[in-house]
Structure 1
Amino acid sequence: MTRNNQQSIMLVDGMAILFRAYFATATSGYIRRTKAGIPTNAVYGFVRYFWDAVQTFNPSHVVCCWDLGGGTFRAEEFAAYKGNRSEAPDDLVPQFALIREVVDSFGIPNISYQGFEADDCIGTLASHYSEDMNVTILTGDHDLLQLVSPQTSVIIMKKGHGNYKVYTPESLYEEKQLLPRQIIDVKALMGDASDNYPGVRGIGEKTAMKLIQEYGSVESVLENLNQLSASVRTKIENDLEMLHLSRRLAEIHCNVPIECQLDGCMLELDQFLITSKFEELEMSSLCGLIGVEVV
């Protein structure tokens, strides 16, 4: 069946949603499994989260982007990048391949590129598609707010099923008094504990936000060091190299050598492929959610 609506494309941050789906149920101690013992709780939850977003935002086209195992250019530049992350839970690991099979059954392209993160693939595709149509990005990762533009909205999944915050340039500025590109500069100053890069030691989010709101950019902050308090000026001067490195790590690259033709990501559901995959994974109850019949 084909969804008839004004053309727009949703770029899905696959790993962010898969991890969210896994931990939403794993913390309760229950892991959904097939009769053969294959864990499927993250896959099941992913489909529910994903389909709710599709129903809510009604895209005509969808692409799902993924992180790959192995190093990235950021880890090459800063060895400790994401070095604080623990290994994925054993019950989640086999679901990495399963969810890509499910996304395939929906006729949705799975996009990734070795050496880059899903964020970079999303940024590249958003830059490309926004020339011709509206783009939405589905994620739980605030790093992607730097991609907001008049043509690109970022949908942040909030706590609770079906709870979203949609960021446009206007709503981003209203909430944070920042322009999208300034998200990068704030992270350059304050660092990112989740991604394990420090920024300028001793400068937290509050000071970083204040500096960028007042001066506009890292460059302007550096040009006006003599106007800063002695404490803040000293911290920046002592960590200039890490400031610039953190900025490079924070910036999403929008020139990954990937291609995804628009015709190939129109959301057209093949009932047989979807129901067959759901039955294989023993989650036929999702057929009713998607609106396809069990064959």
Structure 2
Amino acid sequence: MQESNRKVLLVDGMALLFRAFYATSYTGYIRKTSAGLPTNAVYGFIQYFFDAINTFKPTHVICCWDMGSKTFRTEQFADYKGNRGDAPEELIPQFDLVKDVVEAMGIQNIGVIGFEADDCIGTLATHLRGEAEVFILTGDHDMLQLVSETVKVVIMKKGKLNYAVYDLATLYEEKQLTPSQVIDLKGFMGDTSDNYPGVKGIGEKTALKLILEYQSIEGVLLNLDKLPKGVRGKIEADLDMLHLSRDLATIRLNAPVRCELTGCAWRIQLETAKNKFEELEFGGLVKVLDGHPSVNEDVFSV
């Protein structure tokens, strides 16, 4: 049974880290330690992280990560995310560093080779949603397919403390879509960011019209004879890619990850966190740790 006072924040770690890197490096200045280690993305990550903690006040927190560029999706479609260049040189050492900081604070890092952070988040959200209210913190609109009665998706928007929080009602009100239709929409229109094409010649406007009229990909395919000749021809010519694109867009809910509530209670390991911040010359950030439950306080029952 769900406990009303239990609130899990699932953090899309890469989304926060990349956002923090670009938000703090566009001027050309990169924050570094006195030894020359770049830390701007990690510093910004901590700020974004605590902004979300203070806004949504979770009782439990988990941070999920991609574990390399090769996943089951690149095996299905070799060009998946193939349009993305190499990460900036100053960001590369911060991939491991941010996980060290998260661990030092006492938060679980979760990721599994062969799957994306999205799949870990989807799996954990599905597993935990019966025990707690789940909030997914991300910048990725693909996550909207995970919205349910007890799962909300928090999209980080431009600017500090600027969030769009989606539940079932908000998703339908703003986009006229159900969570499963988010996936089918991507099947038709593809995703330029993730570099899969969908049906050639069908963009977002036509894809949305098809979904709104016929509810799903299956509904469209059952009514091909009712479609304009041009649209029908495009779909028939690209059926295999339509189904592949929908599969690539589908977040997996069965990744080999698990975290019980007892293992992810929001409690700061105050001393190790402070030591890590000081090691990285983040002295000004130590104050963000104040006022949060620490491992020495029995604040929440799990």
**Aligned residue for 2:298?**
none
**Aligned residue for 1:59?**
58
Are 2:155 and 2:163, in contact at CA under 8 Å, matched by a contact in 1? yes
Q: Partners in 1 of 2:15 and 2:96 — Cα distance?
A: 15
| CA deviation profile, 1:105-153 (whole Å, cap 9, x unmatched) | 1211000011000000000000000011100000000000000001000
Answer yes or no: is 1:206 the counterpart of 2:205. yes
Q: Partners in 1 of 2:128 and 2:260 — Cα distance?
A: 10
SS at match of 1:30: coil
| CA deviation profile, 1:175-198 (whole Å, cap 9, x unmatched) | 010001100000000000000000
Are 2:270 and 2:289, in contact at CA under 8 Å, matched by a contact in 1? no
Are 2:6 and 2:131, in contact at CA under 8 Å, matched by a contact in 1? no
Q: Give the letter aligned to residue 78 of structure 1.
A: F
Q: Give the letter aligned to residue 45 of structure 2.
A: F
**Aligned residue for 1:260?**
259
**Aligned residue for 1:74?**
73
Give the superposition deviation at 1:70. Answer: 4.2
Give the superposition deviation at 1:261. Answer: 2.1
**Aligned residue for 1:12?**
11
Q: Partners in 1 of 2:158 and 2:6 — Cα distance?
A: 29
Q: Partners in 1 of 2:199 and 2:127 — Cα distance?
A: 33
Q: Partners in 1 of 2:69 and 2:83 — Cα distance?
A: 15
Are 1:275 and 1:292, in contact at CA under 8 Å, matched by a contact in 2? no
**Aligned residue for 1:109?**
108
Q: Partners in 2 of 1:51 and 1:77 — Cα distance?
A: 37
Q: Partners in 2 of 1:102 and 1:270 — Cα distance?
A: 11
| CA deviation profile, 1:83-123 (whole Å, cap 9, x unmatched) | 00010000000000110011101211000011000000000
Q: Partners in 2 of 1:105 and 1:145 — Cα distance?
A: 30
**Aligned residue for 1:197?**
196
Give the superposition deviation at 1:215. Answer: 0.5
Give the superposition deviation at 1:25. Answer: 1.0
**Aligned residue for 2:297?**
none
Percent sequence identity over aligned pairs: 59
Are 2:183 and 2:246, in contact at CA under 8 Å, matched by a contact in 1? yes
Q: Give the letter aligned to residue 208 of structure 1.
A: A
Instruction: Please list, as runs of the form range in 1=range in 2, the aligned pairs for 1:130-279 lying within 5 A after superposition.
Output: 130-279=129-278
SS at match of 2:283: coil
Are 2:168 and 2:178, in contact at CA under 8 Å, matched by a contact in 1? yes
Q: Which runs of 5+ in 1 are unaligned?
A: none
| CA deviation profile, 1:46-85 (whole Å, cap 9, x unmatched) | 0000100000000000000000114100000000000000
Are 2:268 and 2:289, in contact at CA under 8 Å, matched by a contact in 1? no
Q: Partners in 2 of 1:286 and 1:72 — Cα distance?
A: 35
Give the superposition deviation at 1:258. Answer: 1.1
**Aligned residue for 1:42?**
41
Q: Partners in 2 of 1:187 and 1:218 — Cα distance?
A: 10
Q: Partners in 2 of 1:59 and 1:289 — Cα distance?
A: 16
Give the superposition deviation at 1:28. Answer: 1.2
Are 2:181 and 2:216, in contact at CA under 8 Å, matched by a contact in 1? yes
Instruction: Please list, as runs of the form range in 1=range in 2, the aligned pairs for 1:18-29 lying within 5 A after superposition.
Output: 18-29=17-28
* 151-160 vs 66-75, which moves further: 66-75
Give the superposition deviation at 1:292. Answer: 7.0
SS at match of 2:273: helix
Q: Partners in 2 of 1:257 and 1:98 — Cα distance?
A: 24
* 258-267 vs 128-137, which moves further: 258-267
Are 1:8 and 1:60, in contact at CA under 8 Å, matched by a contact in 2? yes
* Count of aligned pairs: 289
Q: Which runs of 5+ in 2 are unaligned?
A: 293-302
Runs in 1 of length 4+ with deviation above 4 angstroms? none
Q: Partners in 2 of 1:168 and 1:53 — Cα distance?
A: 17
| CA deviation profile, 1:146-185 (whole Å, cap 9, x unmatched) | 0000100000000001100000000000001000110000
Q: Partners in 2 of 1:254 and 1:204 — Cα distance?
A: 27
Are 2:66 and 2:117, in contact at CA under 8 Å, matched by a contact in 1? yes
Give the superposition deviation at 1:289. Answer: 2.2
TM-score (norm 1): 0.96
